[in-house]
Amino acid sequence: MLDGSKIAVPLRWRPMRPADVDRCVEIVAAHPVIGPRYGDDIENLGRAWRHLLGSAAINNAVFERVDRKRATIVGIGFAVFVRDEFMREIKAPPLRWIGPELARRVAGRDSPALTDDEVRDANSGAGLSELVWEGTGTPEFAHTMDFYHHMVGAYVEEHRGFLLKEMITAQAESVERLLWVVEAGGLYWNPAQQRYETTSLEPPEIFAMRPHLVGITRELENVRPGSWISTLFNYRPPRFGFSRGEQQLLLTALMSFHGTDQELASALHLSVPTVKKMWVSIYRRVADCDPELVPDPTAGSGTHERGREKRRSLLAYVREHPEELRPHSRKLLAKNLHA
């Protein structure tokens, strides 16, 4: 069960790396409720996650306990944008455990995950449908409310700026987890009626132990009182239309340990002159839309301190407007704007 205890050691989160996959699969496999749901498909989980790493279709995080400068992975959250037909399929009766289904299909040749181009187009048009694949931790963390608050914070941060259409959360492993998700804004899926509902006909202890779905859509969230989950549907189209390469540069620059052009070039495997040219392109693009944000679009002009201030101003803006860093289609955005 979930309890309100505080975590005694610091936690941090970051995106999953290939070297993390085995440890993350171990955490899932060792869970007394989630692990058995996979059966033989636990063998597919690592292959599936490795296949998707680097894809625009995923948002994930590993949670690390930091103790005397040593970091140990103690939790995992993994979500994936999927095709609408797969959403319809898993919502039809009889319901099934989503994790093993995704592991089997992504590891095979029938992946329902969106391609990078499909993510870009959906994020510029009708919106994205997402499944939270798994979200859990090791025994000492998995049952603490503080840990789940940390997971929620990471989830919100990873999803700000996306045009979300529907979200289905990870299938609960306990009554307490189920009720916590519902209290946070999730709705019970009724497969017989093909609709979300505020209550379930089954007692929570039965609902949670059978294959089930809890989720929310943008339309439903827009017509009910706000909850924390409603913040995930706050969306505004990007203004500047950065290229994917420019987005990668800005994302890397937002990480404090990649500050100078030399560090950025090393992190992105580019030359320093290429990075400098990309900054010029970024500043000119921004100046065309918002001259007040970067008054001088020429990266080489002015003093060094003036250039640093210009960069700080731009990074502060994109930190508060993550839609500028999400995949998008300039053509579709322009079409929707004039529709």
CATH code assigned at 226: 3.40.630.30
Sheet of strand 58-67, all strands in order from the earlier edge strand to the far edge: 11-14, 58-67, 70-82, 128-137, 164-168, 214-217, 187-190, 195-197
Select from 169, 198, 233 the last residue of a domain.
233
- Same structural domain, 133 and 61: yes
295 DSSP β-pair partners: none
One domain, residues 213 and 307: no
Cβ contact 261:254 at 8 Å: no
Angle, CA of 317, 321 and 325, to the nearest 5°: 100
* Dihedral of alpha carbons 6, 7, 10, 12, sign: negative
Kindly state whether residues 186 and 60 are assigned to the same domain: yes
Please give the residue range of the domain that contains residue 201: 11-233
Do residues 263 and 308 both lie within one domain?
A: yes
**Judgement on whether residues 42 and 82 belong to the same structural domain of the protein:** yes
Q: At which residue do the structure tokens 């006909």 appear? A: 201
pLDDT confidence of residue 301: 44
- Indicate the residue type of 76: I
3 occurs within a structural domain: no
Tokens of 211: 């294959």
d(CA 220, CA 217): 5
Q: Looking at the structure, do residues 259 and 201 belong to the same domain, yes or no? A: no
Q: Same domain, yes or no, for 273 and 213?
A: no
Sign of CA dihedral 143, 147, 149, 152: negative
Instruction: Pull the structure tokens for residue 82.
Output: 């999927």
| CB-based contacts of 8, cutoff 8 Å, min separation 6 | none
183 in a domain, yes or no? yes
In this structure, is residue 325 part of a structural domain?
no
- Shared domain check, 144 and 122: yes
Nearest CA among 27, 40, 205 for reference residue 133: 27
Q: Is residue 337 part of a domain?
A: no
Residues 109 and 208 reside in one and the same domain: yes
Residue 157's contacts (CB-CB under 8 Å, 6 or more residues apart) are: none
Angle, CA 146 vertex, CA 145 and CA 152 arms, to 5° = 90
Cis peptide before 273 (omega within 30 of 0): no
Tens of each residue's pLDDT in the chain, 339 residues: 445 455 556 888 999 999 999 999 999 999 999 999 999 999 999 999 999 999 999 999 999 998 877 899 999 999 999 999 999 999 999 999 999 999 999 999 899 999 999 999 999 999 999 999 999 999 888 777 788 888 888 898 899 999 999 999 999 999 999 998 998 889 999 999 999 999 999 999 999 999 999 999 999 988 876 777 778 888 999 999 999 999 999 999 987 555 789 999 998 999 999 999 999 999 999 999 998 888 765 544 445 667 788 888 999 999 999 999 999 998 887 776 655
Residue 69 included in any domain: yes
User: What pLDDT was estimated at residue 299?
Assistant: 45
Asked whether residue 61 falls in the same domain as residue 86, the answer is yes
The size of the chain, in residues, is 339
Residue at 98: amino acid letter: I
Q: Is residue 326 part of a domain?
A: no
Q: Which of 90, 238, 235 has the alpha carbon at shortest distance from 165?
A: 235
Enclosing H/E stretch for 170:
none
Residues 292 and 148 in one domain: no
Bridging pattern class, strands 164-168 and 128-137: parallel
**Within-domain flag for 256:** yes
Please count the structural domains in the chain: 2
Residue finishing a domain among 179, 207, 233: 233
pTM over 0.85: yes
Q: Among 182, 201, 233, where does a domain finish?
A: 233
Residues 6+ apart with CB under 8 A from 240: 285, 286, 289, 324
Same domain, 265 and 295: yes
- Rounded to 10 deg, the angle between the 272-289 and 261-268 helix axes is 110
List 187's β-bridge partners, or say none. 215
The residue written with tokens 């497969």 in the block is 191
